[in-house]
Structure formats: C-alpha cells, structure tokens
Amino acid sequence: MNSSKTKARRSQPEPTDRRQFLQKAGLGGLSLGTLFSRTEEDVAYLTQKVSRASNPSELKITDLRIAEVQGAPMRVPILRIDTNQGIYGLGEVRDGGSQRYALFLKSRLLGENPCNVEKLFKKIKQFGHHGRQAGGVCGVEMALWDLAGKAYNVPVYQMLGGRFRDKIRMYTDTPQSDDPAEFAQRMKERVGKGFTFLKMDFGLEMIQRVPGAVIGAKTYGELRQWGNSEYAQTKHPFTGVQLTDKGVEEMVKYVDAVRAAVGYEIPLAADHFGHMGINSCIRLGKALEKYQLAWLEDMVPWQYTDAWREITTSIETPTLTGEDIYLKEEFIKLIDARAVDMIQPDLASAGGILETKKIGDYAEEHGVAMAMHFAGTPIGLMANVHCAAATQNFVALEHHSVDVAWWEDMVTGIDKPFMKEGFVPVPNKPGLGIELNEKVVKEHLVKGEKYFAPTPEWNEDRSWDRLWS
C-alpha cells in the first residue's frame, strides 16, 4: 500500500476520538447547538473582513447622474453610474459635449447588469455620432468598465487581455504665441516639466497679418479654426485660402525656433494648421520635412480619404488624423486606403475603451501606429491609460491640462504627480483605479450645477430603438 495514503489514513481521528472531542466540547460550553446558533451580530463580527463589495451576477444599474466641471481645461460633464450593491462607475463626456448625450441613455441602462459591457455598448452605440455627439455613449462605456473592474476586483486593462506596458508615454500640447522666440521658450519649458514628447499648434491665424502671407484671408475675416464664424464652419477644400511662398516661410520660422530650443532628441508633432486647401498643405508639409516632425495632424477633415492619401504620398513627414471619428469603420477606411501614416482616436469620441482598442488592434495588424488624443479630467486620462496599456501599437497619449494647478486633485487613489519622467504608471487597482475628490470637484462645478443631483426625469423615454424589423 502507498505509504502516503497510509499516513493520511492514520491522521484521521477514529470514531472514539470524535466522540471524545464532542464530549469535551460540550463540557467546555461549546455544544454543537451553541456552535450553530450564533447570533447575527456574532456572524457579522466573525466575517467582517470578508469582501462583499459585489456579487457580479446580481449587479444592476439603478441610477445615472452628472457633475459638470469647468476649466479642466475645458467644460467636461462627469457621469456616475450607481448600482444596487453600492459600487459605482465613473466616466466623462468629451470636452465641449452636452451632458444630455449621456442622460438620454439612462432609460436604456436602468436594471441592466453593468458587467455586460459590450452588450450594453451595442445597445446604445446607435445614439452616438462623429465628434462630440459620441460623448454620451463613450462616457457610459468608460463607467461600465470602471464598474466591471470593481465588481471583479481587477484593473480594466486586465479585462482587455492584459497589458503590453506598465507606463504610458505622454505628449503635451502648448499654447500658441505670435512670437516664434516666445513660442520656442514655452515648448522648452514643457521639456523642463519632464515631457519627452511634444506637440505644437501653429496655423494661419499666427501669420494672417503678415503682408503677402495668406491669399483669401480677408474673405473669411479672422482666420479662426474654432467658433461659429463663417470661416470656422467651412471645410478646408472650400475656403479658397492659400499659403504663399512668404506664408510658408513665416510658418517654418516657428518650427525652426522650436527645434533650435528643444533639439532633435525629442519627438515633435504639429497641429491646427488652419482651413486651407490640400495644395497648400502639401507645400507646407514639404517645407517642414527637414525638421523631422513626428506627425502633421488634421491638415484636412478626416472624411476626405482621397485628399489624405494625396497629402500622405506627397510628403515624407508622417500624417495623422482621427480625433473626431466615431467607431472603427471609418478608421478602417483610412487604414485600408493607406491614406494616413498614423491614426489618433479620442477615446471619448471613438466609442470608448474597448472600441478604441479594437481600432488600435486593426491598425496594428496593418502596420499603422496609434497615438491617442485626450482633453478632459483625470477620469478620462485613466480610461486612456488602461486602453493604451492593452494596445500593442500605442505611441503616445495627449495631456491637455499641464497648466491647470488643481487638475490632479480632482481624484484620489493614485500617486501624484501622475506623470514621472514623461510617463504615467498604469494603476493596478480595481476598475480605473481612482475615486473622485468630492471637495475639489464641487469647487469647480459649472455655475448653477449641483454635485450629482438626482435625474429622475430621464428614467423613462418611450422610443422604438431597434434598427431592424
């Protein structure tokens, strides 16, 4: 007979031993009846360290509320999804988007299990669209992942298949200046703050007053990319605006000054060129080739696949677009056509965490790199960090709030400063890994807004949502 089995049998108490144990237990006041008749208070005390944070299969959504903040650096609605088990998930609508884009979805979510993230995303994704209109769907999706991670006690990146990296490289945008020397100094200061990847915004509005630099400038008034002016609403191919040789020369001065200040060891990208036609884009792109920029961003609207391909094949500097695209299908068109060298989804517009990873995975399979656009609160930052950690072809993530002193104080649960030597460590805590600092958020609410006020008026919405018969 096997000796190990013999030892195991010998270690079992004989029937007599069991009777003696029960007798001694009774004499000591520990009868079986007493043992199994503990009061509820005793049981609660004995099991107080047992985690009952969530029973995932029974988790249900009970509420969705909004707290909208201003100056982070933009106006951002933070959303909170509550459940029947006391845990909640955090998300946010993309900067500039309406909180109604999220509240409209509440009636579609109540009573659902938030752990069924992809099922719920497919239920609500029809209510998003390109640009800021996707903000509600994306914000809800972020919050669902936060909830699922908390329910299963794992970080979001783990539910996406694990991570490729444990820290995320950041790049920073920089305020413009009409003075190339001052602009260069601002960029150099970003390096002093630890950034190892930079992006500069420079466009037609910076040279519009230079005589002979821009053709058609007066036709459209002030050359602004933002706002509701006639110029801002006219797509690039239709403005009639052109760069002259003088204009190209003036714009090159800014890049030359910045490169002289920060050197060539740091990647430097460029954005916000202004609403000009593709011929001017190509001429400018060729003039900038010697500065070895990381990419030229959004030179024309993302919808013009053929125009992008023409620009991309005409210059040596990488091209990039995508921050306003919703869902993977339009990214697939750009990638399949080899229209751009890189893509840059904004997770708060693209469809959320999982959809952005799917976009990145498709690009990776076709040899296309992915940067990530971001401008929001630390909630959105952490959603991006988890997605970037789980996506192989990720390059760098934007940081738009470098100059907002209270920005990091909006959340707790993560070491500060967030960024260390140009990288943000990936949190290992459940969900997104952060919680809100109620005091700081309340201090920066949009005027007239309340902190997660009840929203019962959005509980019901009668609509036939099915897209097929």
pLDDT for 29-50, tens place per residue? 344 444 334 455 554 444 444 4
What pLDDT sits at residue 16? Answer: 45
Residues 6+ apart with CB under 8 A from 202: 176, 183, 251, 254, 255, 270, 272, 273
The confidence score (pLDDT) of residue 24 equals: 42
State residue 217's pLDDT score. Answer: 75
Q: Write out pLDDT tens, residues 88-98.
A: 999 999 998 99
Instruction: State the average pLDDT over residues 53-64.
Output: 90
- Greatest Cα pair distance in the chain: 108
Q: What is the average pLDDT across 421-441?
A: 98
Asked if residue 435 lies in contact with residue 413, where contact means CB atoms within 8 angstroms, the answer is: yes
What is the pairing mode between strands 88-92 and 435-436?
Answer: unpaired
Number of other residues whose CB lies within 10 A of the CB of residue 162: 10
Report the alpha-carbon distance of residue 81 to residue 66 in Å, rounded.
Answer: 9
Residue 277 has pLDDT above 60, yes or no: yes
Q: H or E stretch including 10? A: helix 3-11
pTM exceeds 0.95 for this model: no
Distance, in Å, from the CA atom of 424 to the CA atom of 273, rounded to the nearest integer, reads 29
Average pLDDT of the residues in 408-434: 97
Amino acid 42: pLDDT: 52
Quote the crossing angle between the two packed helices 353-365 and 328-336, to the nearest 10°.
Answer: 10
Res 336: pLDDT? 98
Tokens of 119: 């099922």
201-233 pLDDT, tens digit per residue, is 988 888 988 999 999 877 655 555 656 666 567
Q: Which two tokens stand for residue 146?
A: 């936060």
Average model confidence (pLDDT) across the chain: 89
Q: What is the pLDDT of residue 196?
A: 96
Indicate if the pLDDT at residue 18 is higher than 50: no
Interval 451-458 mean pLDDT: 97
Distance (Å, whole) CA 211 – CA 166: 51
Q: Where are the beta strands (DSSP E) in 26-98?
A: 61-69, 76-83, 88-92
Beta partners for residue 201, in sequence order:
271
What is residue 410's three-state secondary structure?
helix
Over residues 66-78, the pLDDT tens digits come to: 999 998 878 999 9
Which CATH number is associated with domain 167-429?
A: 3.20.20.120
Return the residue matching tokens 């602004």: 224
pLDDT confidence of residue 233: 76
Q: Which residue has the higher pLDDT, 174 or 284?
A: 284
Say what the pLDDT of residue 230 is.
62
pLDDT at residue number 12: 46
Q: Looking at 8-17, 185-194, 375-384, which range is the least confident one?
A: 8-17
The per-residue pLDDT for range 385-407, each reduced to its tens digit, is 999 999 999 999 999 999 999 99
Mean pLDDT to the nearest integer, 419-436: 97
Least-confidence region, from 8-22, 108-122, 167-181, 256-270: 8-22
Q: What backbone torsions phi and psi does residue 426 show, to the nearest 5 degrees?
A: -80, 125
Domain spans in the chain, listed from the N-terminal domain onward:
61-159+452-458, 167-429
The CATH H-level (homologous superfamily) assignment of domain 61-159+452-458 is Enolase-like, N-terminal domain (3.30.390.10)
Helix runs in 153-208, H state only: 156-159, 180-192
Is residue 22 over pLDDT 90?
Answer: no
Residue 163 one-letter amino acid? R
pLDDT band at 270 (very low <50, low <70, confident <90, very high): very high
Task: For residue range 289-339, list pLDDT tens digits in order.
Answer: 999 999 999 999 999 999 999 999 999 999 999 999 999 999 999 999 999
197 with 171: CB under 8 angstroms?
Answer: yes
Report the alpha-carbon distance of residue 357 to residue 421 in Å, rounded. Answer: 25
